[in-house]
């Protein structure tokens, strides 16, 4: 078979086993430092509004340069975990909707792969339940909103405009949650998606999304089941969609680790 190694001849030494790849190899230094800053916030028991160590102090404490710390802070500021105030310093962000707030324990680390996988498990529980309830409770107006969001995703994919796809994707998942008529599910879905965005931005540079074409079809299947009033079909379609989205993350992680 093409590509198979030739059999070793007599006396040939056994091939040297390749070293195990370093799971951190796919992440540049500022991503690692961003994660360390988040760990430090937890370690110091800082809460939203608390002043953080300065950039110089962070660089000294984390054994890195101020330049790398500054890049890490930019990312954390962009996703709402840290707030930089000119002339005053760095503060833990007071975004009350963030799962890193005291309400949720402040534990989520966007670049910890186990946390990412746990987040998908959490999302699956919430969104499957929301889809099942939406199939029973959705109003005509809510069905139209879900359909319109799915169409926005499709247009974003066909026009290769990621920001349009992402806008439709958010509206679709939140629309399904809203159609469940359960405010706790709406809140859980919204906040879990916020964390997933953080993970994509910090750990994977926002490059996740390789199964966008399939996602368009999966959204359509979820909408169809909800429209038809079939809760079990809606739950199955939501499970398929979230499982495939997780596989998208896994593929990107493998690409970054193994090249």
User: How does residue 155 score in pLDDT terms, banded at 50, 70 and 90?
Assistant: very high
Using alpha carbons only, give the angle 145, 150, 156 rounded to the nearest 5 degrees. 125
Distance CA 72, CA 59 (A): 11
Length of the chain: 259
Ordered by start, the domain boundaries in the chain are 23-92, 110-258
pTM, two decimal places: 0.66
Q: 10 Å Cβ neighbour count for 204?
A: 22
Distance CA 239, CA 224 (A): 15
Fold annotation for 23-92:
Arc Repressor Mutant, subunit A (1.10.10)
Burial of 253 (0-12, 13-18, 19+ CB in 10 A): middle
* Homologous superfamily of 110-258: GntR ligand-binding domain-like (1.20.120.530)
Write the pLDDT tens digit of every residue in 176-219.
999 999 999 999 999 888 888 877 766 555 444 557 889 999 99
């Amino acid at each position: 078979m093409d590509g198979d190694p030739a059999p070793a001849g007599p006396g040939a030494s056994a091939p040297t086993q390749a070293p195990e790849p370093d799971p951190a190899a796919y992440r540049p230094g500022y991503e690692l430092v961003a994660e360390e800053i988040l760990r430090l916030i937890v370690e110091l028991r800082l809460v939203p509004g608390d002043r953080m160590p300065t950039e110089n102090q962070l660089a000294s404490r984390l054994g890195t340069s101020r330049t790398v710390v500054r890049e890490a802070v930019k990312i954390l500021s962009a996703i709402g975990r840290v707030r930089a105030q000119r002339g005053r310093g760095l503060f833990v962000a007071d975004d009350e909707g963030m799962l890193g707030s005291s309400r949720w324990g402040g534990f989520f680390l966007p670049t910890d792969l186990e946390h990412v996988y746990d987040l998908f498990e959490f999302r699956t529980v919430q969104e499957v339940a929301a889809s099942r309830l939406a199939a029973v409770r959705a109003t005509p107006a809510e069905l139209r909103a879900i359909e319109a969001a799915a169409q926005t995703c499709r247009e974003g994919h066909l026009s290769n405009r990621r920001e349009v796809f992402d806008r439709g994707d958010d509206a679709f998942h939140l629309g399904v949650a809203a159609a469940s008529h359960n405010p706790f599910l709406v809140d859980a879905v919204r906040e879990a998606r916020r964390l997933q965005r953080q993970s994509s931005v910090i750990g994977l540079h926002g490059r996740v999304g390789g199964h966008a074409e399939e996602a368009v079809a999966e959204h359509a299947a979820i909408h169809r089941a909800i429209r038809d009033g079939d809760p079990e079909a809606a739950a199955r379609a939501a499970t398929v969609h979230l499982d495939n989205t997780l596989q998208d993350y896994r593929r990107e992680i493998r690409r970054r680790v193994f090249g």
